[in-house]
Amino acid sequence: MNLPIRLYSQLTGYNTQPWDVLAFQRPLGTDEGGIALSEEPAQSRTVEAEYYRKITVSGNSGNGTPPLNASANQLATMIEDARYLNAGFVPSEVVHRDPEVNQLSSVLKPLVDGAPADTAFITGPTGSGKTCIAKFTVDRLQQQNHAIQSIYINCWNDYTRFQVLYDILEELENTVDIHRQSTPHDVLLDRLRDHDSSPCVVTLDEVDQLEEKGLLYELNRMPGYTLILIANNREGLLAKVDERLASRLRSAEQIRFHRYPCNELVDILTERARRALKPDSVGDEALETIADDASGDARVAIATLKLAARKAEREGADRITSTHVETAVPNARREIRQKNLESLTDHQRAVYDVIDECGEIAPGDVYHEYRNRVENPKSDRTIRNYLQKMQQYNLVTAEGTTQDRVYRCVESYCSP
């Protein structure tokens, strides 16, 4: 029985007991610090179901036996399309964001007719649907004009000037003779300017993470490229750039997103559950509990639904109960927190580790300890920006006024 276990691990990246095989389905790509949008559940379910059939028939798993109350049929059928339980997946229809979709569509509409479009600046709290709506709207735009090209870059992952320019050229299949270590930045800019192609929409997510924000000014001036900028707030970015760029960003169309109220999250979860799960797998009360605990964050809500469904599957249950939800809530926040931690750059992680090891520390001491740990440390202003970003992603908290402020790491809880 070792071969099926290895095969499953290679397909999913999980190290798990045989009876957990069907419970843990993971997208074949990555997710929102840079996160793939789809998976192939049919293929993975076929492999998993076949493996479960074998260990059930033989009665010998090699490392243990399945729970006595779990049947292959129950384990295989609660989650019917796991894509909809991935917060990074863009569905064919979106819920409760029509005004934002219409506003962004209006900004981009000239591209359909081959005319240039203005820059759009999407702002709002984490988990309010900014990335999903940007991708959804651009996808719909491309259906109207198939010649329009779309490039998505998460600036938390690719935060240097060279990385962003290279990513754009790579998507345009124009990186021949470009060397990551030796090609001057001006060569990349010249190649972008000279690129003769259809209109191109460049979405820069987490744009406030760009180290060299002057790149925005250069991209904004290039004909043929339309920018969609995504950040938690516009003012924070404007405070970090020179007046020339600030003036251009202020003239961009701003599309503000709010946190989802509980009833809107319930509607989103209802639609996701309808698409992802076997009928009647979850009731209204469970969805309302998930939505209420998510505090307006759709990522947390969808992750909670996913983990609750997995636990129900693992137990062979045919319906998600309040117990499944209670267990899933802290684990969903822990999962998202871990993804956020993994997306930190080396310098950001060094700052986080300082706070984590000290337990409680003042801003000036954070910078002093950070400088002692890294080569080529960033500026004090950059570290303050890092701290602000980590607060937005619920990795650290700040307590006290400016004079006596201290930082602490947000505790992580995980239920069994």
> pLDDT tens across 98-152, in order?
999 999 999 999 999 888 899 999 999 999 999 999 999 999 999 999 999 999 9
The Cβ of residue 130 has, within 10 Å, a number of other Cβ atoms equal to 25
Least confident of 27-31, 63-67, 398-402: 27-31
Non-local CB neighbours of 184 within 8 Å, separated by 6+ positions: none
Q: Which domains does the chain have, with CATH numbers?
A: 2-91+262-340 (1.10.8.60), 98-256 (3.40.50.300), 345-409 (1.10.10.10)
Q: What angle do CA 103, 104, 106 make, to 5 degrees?
A: 65
Which pLDDT tens digit goes with each residue over 11-25? 444 444 333 433 333
pLDDT at 382 > cutoff 50: yes
Helices (H), 315-377: 322-342, 346-358, 363-371
Dihedral through CA 325, CA 329, CA 332, CA 333, nearest 10? Answer: 170
The answer to whether the CB of 324 falls within 8 A of the CB of 311 is yes
The answer to whether the CB of 325 falls within 8 A of the CB of 304 is yes
- Distances 51 to 12, 41, 56 between C-alpha atoms, Å: 14, 15, 9
pLDDT at 74 > cutoff 70: no
- Distances 230 to 123, 219, 264 between C-alpha atoms, Å: 6, 15, 22
**pLDDT higher for 14 or 94?**
94
How confident is the model at residue 223, as a pLDDT? Answer: 87
- For residues 162 and 329, what is the distance between their CA atoms, to the nearest angstrom? 40
Q: What are phi and psi of 308, to 5 degrees?
A: -65, -40
How confident is the model at residue 10, as a pLDDT? Answer: 40
Task: Please give the single-letter amino acid code of residue 64.
Answer: G
Model confidence at 65, pLDDT cuts 50, 70, 90, reads very low
Task: Please give the single-letter amino acid code of residue 250.
Answer: R
Which of 26-35, 75-84, 260-269 tops mean pLDDT? 260-269
How confident is the model at residue 412, as a pLDDT? Answer: 55
How many whole angstroms from its chain centre is CA 328?
19
Model confidence at 181, pLDDT cuts 50, 70, 90, reads low
Rg from Cα positions in the chain: 23
- For residues 12 and 373, what is the distance between their CA atoms, to the nearest angstrom? 35
Q: Of 120, 76, 83, 74, nearest to 100 (Cα)?
A: 120
Q: What are phi and psi of 256, to 5 degrees?
A: -95, 130
How confident is the prediction for the chain on average, in pLDDT? 82
Residue 83, CB-side half-sphere exposure with 13 Å CA sphere:
15
Which pLDDT tens digit goes with each residue over 41-52? 444 443 433 433
**pLDDT higher for 253 or 185?**
253
Helices (H), 95-206: 98-108, 130-144, 161-171, 185-194
**Residue 2, class by beta-carbon neighbours within 10 Å (0-12 exposed, 13-18 middle, 19+ buried)?**
exposed
- Distances 327 to 79, 265, 302, 320 between C-alpha atoms, Å: 18, 19, 14, 11
pLDDT at 217 > cutoff 70: yes
Q: What are phi and psi of 145, to 5 degrees?
A: -145, 100
